């Protein structure tokens, strides 16, 4: 079986700060990481590899710097890595991103696709289901555990919703979106890192390489139905008063505030 894991390189949004004067996002010095849900997806795939010897391909679309993220995936144990990268793909919304990734996936061939649930920068959680739609395959979202069904080309997926847990069976070919599960993502090993840089390769896929799998009108800015009209840092709520006082005074302040608000 062949599994493709989609990984996105993202800025660590916990480190993103707002420039208090210009009011813009400060991105300099913010580390790039593999999107956290995608690490969960990689772990789910690698656990299947451990148990069944499946072949795992990591796939990313992004600028050439995303090479680092794919090397990390190789160092964790992936067998192959592809970077979909071309100026023509730039500015894509989730429709065009998913269409492009679906084209690459079709070219590479697959039985199972695993994406993260949500990327921490774009935060849409739309790319996984949209890849599944473009490929016309079933999806099982919010998966925290994936197991292969013995003797069948199918998986049992445990899903987590707001109010319930659900176990579903889904036949390959299919797509799963991963959330954090029982097993924490494994670390890269030293041997893995050496192999990722010395033995394994990250292969580039340009628009030219994907011709026949995705049309010019469906990629990049042109292929994107949505546009970002404007973006701005979230306005901080008017700051309240912070008291550094004794515990008894603190209690008094709170009690008075609750009385004032008619809450007691």
Partner 1 sequence: MILIICEQRDGILHKVSLELIGKARELATDNRVVALLLGHKIEGLARTLVDHGADKVIFADDEILAQYMTEPYAKAACAAIRQENPEIVLIGATYIGRDLGPRIAARIKTGLTADCTFLEIDAETGELLMTRPAFGGNLMATIVCPNHRPQMATVRPGVMLAAEPAARNGEVARLDISFEAADANIEILETTKISKEAVDITKANVLISGGRGMGGDFSDLRRLAEILGGELAASRAAVDAGHAEKAAQVGQTGKTVRPDLYIAAGISGAVQHTAGMEESALTIAINKDPAAPIFDVADIGIVGNVARIVPKLNAGLLEVISNR
Q: How many residues does the chain have?
A: 264
Nearest distance from C-beta of residue 89 to ligand FAD, angstroms: 9
Distance of alpha carbon 14 from alpha carbon 32, whole angstroms:
11
Instruction: Catalog residues that contact ligand FAD under the rule CB under 6 A.
Output: 6-8, 35-38, 60-62, 92-95, 97, 101, 115-116, 118-128, 226, 228, 231
For 219, which DSSP code? S
Q: Which is nearer to partner 1, 14 or 53 (CB)?
A: 14
Encoding tokens for residue 87? 């100026």
Closest CB to partner 1 among residues 190, 236 = 236
Question: Which of ligand FAD, partner 1, none does residue 187 bind (CB under 5 to 8 Å by kind)?
Answer: none
- Output the six-digit token pair for 184: 């924490």
CB closer to partner 1 out of 211 and 243: 243
Could you count the other beta carbons within 10 Å of the beta carbon of residue 236?
8
Alpha-carbon distance of 191 to 150, in angstroms, equals: 32
Q: Is 231 in the site for partner 1 (CB under 8 A)?
A: yes
Strands 112-116 and 2-6: parallel
Q: Return the residues of window 155-194 that contact partner 1 according to CB under 8 A.
A: 156, 161-171, 174
Query: Of 35, 80, 93, 115, which lies in the binding site for partner 1, with binding defined by CB under 8 A?
Result: 93
94-108 vs 127-135: helix axis angle to the nearest 10? 50
| Residue 35 binds to partner 1 (criterion: CB under 8 A) | no
d(C-alpha 88, C-alpha 101), whole Å = 13
Of 50, 123, 152, 215, the one binding partner 1 by CB under 8 A: 123
Give yes or no for residue 122 binding partner 1 (CB under 8 A).
yes
* Adjacent-strand bridge partners of 9: 34
Give the residue with the Cβ less far from partner 1, 204 or 221.
221
Q: Which does 199 bind (CB under 5 to 8 A by kind): ligand FAD, partner 1, none?
A: none
Q: Does residue 141 interact with partner 1 by CB under 8 A?
A: yes
Question: Which pair of tokens denotes residue 222?
Answer: 């042109």
């Amino acid at each position: 079986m062949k599994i493709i894991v989609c990984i996105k390189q993202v800025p660590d949004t916990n480190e993103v700060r707002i420039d208090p004067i210009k009011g813009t996002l400060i991105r300099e010095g913010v580390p790039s990481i593999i999107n956290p849900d995608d690490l969960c997806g990689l772990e789910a795939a690698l656990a299947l590899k451990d148990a069944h010897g499946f072949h795992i391909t990591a796939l990313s679309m992004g600028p050439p710097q995303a090479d680092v993220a794919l090397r990390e995936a190789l160092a964790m144990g992936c067998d192959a890595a592809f970077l979909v990268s071309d100026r023509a793909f730039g500015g894509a919304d989730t429709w065009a991103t998913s269409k492009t990734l679906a084209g690459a996936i079709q070219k590479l061939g697959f039985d199972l696709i695993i994406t993260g649930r949500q990327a921490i920068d774009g935060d849409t959680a739309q790319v996984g289901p949209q890849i599944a739609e473009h490929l016309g395959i079933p999806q099982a979202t919010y998966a925290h555990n994936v197991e292969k069904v013995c003797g069948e080309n199918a998986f049992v997926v445990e899903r987590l919703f707001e109010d319930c847990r659900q176990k579903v069976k889904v036949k390959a070919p299919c797509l799963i979106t991963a959330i954090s599960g029982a097993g924490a993502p494994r670390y890269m090993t030293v041997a893995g890192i050496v192999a990722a840089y010395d033995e394994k390769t990250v292969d580039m896929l340009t628009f030219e390489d994907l011709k026949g799998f995705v049309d010019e009108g469906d990629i990049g800015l042109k292929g994107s139905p949505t546009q970002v009209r404007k973006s701005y840092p979230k306005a901080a709520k008017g700051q309240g008063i912070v008291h550094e006082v004794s515990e008894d005074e603190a209690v008094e302040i709170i009690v008075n505030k609750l009385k004032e608000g008619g809450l007691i």
